[in-house]
Amino acid sequence: MAEAVKADDGAAALMAGLSPLELAMLVAMQRVDERGRDVFNFEMAFDEYRSIRQDGQGHMWRRRPCLRAFEALAGLGLVRLLDARVLESRTPALAFAGATLCVTRAEVEAGAARNATCPDLLRRWLSNETSILTLGALQ
């Protein structure tokens, strides 16, 4: 039990230093994961990010910076690529490489709470998961 708490604290501490874009991609991946997609790829996460950004609030990043954020999260070990060689090769295949999330929703929430640059919008995405999922299903 104490080891699990240390792991949670470590992930939250690591997330405290993420950029707003990296946090946004992490939240999008968390939402994909919670829909039962244990294995996903960048394109799926980016589609989720775009669907939750359709409210017109906050900054909408383009695909390339989002892909760099995805790559950074994999480099930090918050996302695990099923084939790690894809990360090293820096090819377009990265966008379609299978990945799994290495943090829980609780860790993402704790990391967002610790992150001084986390926009309020991201905190709302985490706290209003149910209403956002309903809106996303309608679009």
Q: What is the pTM of this model?
A: 0.79
- CA neighbor of 123 nearest in space, from 65, 46, 52: 52
Q: Quick check: 133 pLDDT over 80? A: no
Whether residue 107 contacts residue 15, with contact meaning beta carbons closer than 8 Å, is answered with yes
pLDDT digits (tens, 9 = 90+) for 39-85: 999 999 999 888 876 665 566 889 999 999 999 999 999 999 998 88
Domains located in the chain, CATH noted = 2-138 (1.10.10.10)
- CA separation for the pair 46, 24 (Å, rounded): 10
pLDDT digits (tens, 9 = 90+) for 121-131: 787 777 765 43
pLDDT at residue number 122: 80
* C-alpha separations of 2 from 5, 6, 9, 13 in Å: 5, 6, 11, 16
Which residues, including other chains, have CB under 8 Å from residue 41's CB and lie 6 or more apart? 95, 96, 97, 98, 99
Phi then psi dihedrals of residue 71, to 5 deg: -60, -40
Q: Once rounded to an integer, what is the mean pLDDT over residues 108-126?
A: 84
pLDDT at residue number 129: 55
pLDDT digits (tens, 9 = 90+) for 23-40: 999 999 998 998 888 899
Q: Quick check: 4 pLDDT over 60? A: no
Question: In what helix (H) or strand (E) does residue 81 lie, and over which residues does it extend?
Answer: strand 79-81
